[in-house]
Structure 1
Amino acid sequence: MGSHHNDGDFAKLEELPVDEELQVYTWPDASLREISDLIEDILPESRGRTKKLSFRLIYPDRSGRFVMARIGEVYNSHETFPDGRTLAEVKFQPGDFLDVAILDNEKLTAPLPERPSRGSRMMNNRGPADEMGENKEDDGKEGKE
């Protein structure tokens, strides 16, 4: 709670950070808002008007090294653009992880929802895009759906 894990926390598969692990069984069409609601049902510290859940996708690249990509933030107080993003849209696959930071700020306000231009897409054929629609790096998931 309070921050995301560091890149190094996922350096060794046998030493993954499990101290605050929450296992959730869900479907590819589950949205970030739906996952936030599940977390709220289980973890009281994630509830409250000033809370925000920040999501990162953790996935292995071609060499097996885990890569982190920001996929969105969900505010408890109101809806924003990333709320409706689904696991399928961010190319989540079995074996990937979601790193969720529960953040609190008394003065929390959401940014204005982004409006993608007609030609832009939050996802492209090279893998998960961060919130700006750009890839973190070539991840080896090219062409996989």
Structure 2
Amino acid sequence: MDDPTPSSAKPTVDREKTAPFLIRTFVKVGAYHRLVQFEDGPLPLSDEQAIYTWKDATLREVLTTLRSSAPPVTEYRHPLARFSFRAVFADPTARGRFAQKDLGTVYSRDILGEPGSLGRPAPRLLEDDERDTTSSTEQDRTLDELRFVPGDYLCVMVQLPKGVVVPAGPDGELVIKGAGVGVGAAPPPANGWKRDAPGGRGTDGGWSGNPAAA
């Protein structure tokens, strides 16, 4: 892991002539793997996924690559899943001890569109020309901007909104606890995640797992 300060310019990689590099990725539902597992071992090999990509890949692209090669675990494929990324690396300023740095978060809907069902997620094309290119959101920052380098480990925490029942209901639609319509009942959020306010970030109360786990 290099200097954590993001780079101001996106790298240009000729993918036709540049070989991708390996990222040893460790995926866990509900929490991150503990740092001590990388320092003292053994590595959590049962949760490891090997992916290959380039330094100009965004977190959104990394997630797309990961989902295409990951085992058929329901949480990994869930259209309401949230994926949080963390780099684990040997810190030269700490005599080679391992350190970690949060990179960002990507939701399934960021690559699939608004959620449909487990078997039929709502499709959506990524329309880059309609996005605000003057701002850089977490999922659109590249590995190079995030100072992620070959040799770093990548930890991924997968979470679902509280109340989501896995697997899906009998008709293939998502089942959300308390989502039934009754007297005084409010409809569930459109994307399954609670929000503090319009445009705000989700609250811990709307997330499953423990975001603070390390």
TM, length-normalised to structure 1: 0.68
Deviation at 1:109, TM superposition (A): 4.9
How many Å separate the matches in 2 of 1:110 and 1:39? 27
Deviation at 1:42, TM superposition (A): 2.2
Change (3 A) 1:110 1:22: farther
Change (3 A) 1:109 1:36: farther
Gaps of 5+ in 1: 115-145
Change (3 A) 1:102 1:4: same
- 2:37 maps to a residue whose letter is D
Q: 1:76 aligns with which of 108, 111, 114?
A: 108
Structure label with greater radius of gyration = 2
TM, length-normalised to structure 2: 0.48
Which residue does 1:57 correspond to in 2? Answer: 87
How many Å separate the matches in 2 of 1:40 and 1:86? 18
Which residue does 2:150 correspond to in 1? Answer: 94
Kindly report structure 1 stretches of 4+ aligned residues shifted beyond 3 Å.
Answer: 109-114
CA contact (8 A) 1:75 1:110 kept: no
Deviation at 1:110, TM superposition (A): 7.0
- 2:193 maps to a residue whose letter is L
SS class of match (1:24): strand
Q: Percent identity?
A: 31
CA RMSD of aligned residues (A): 2.4
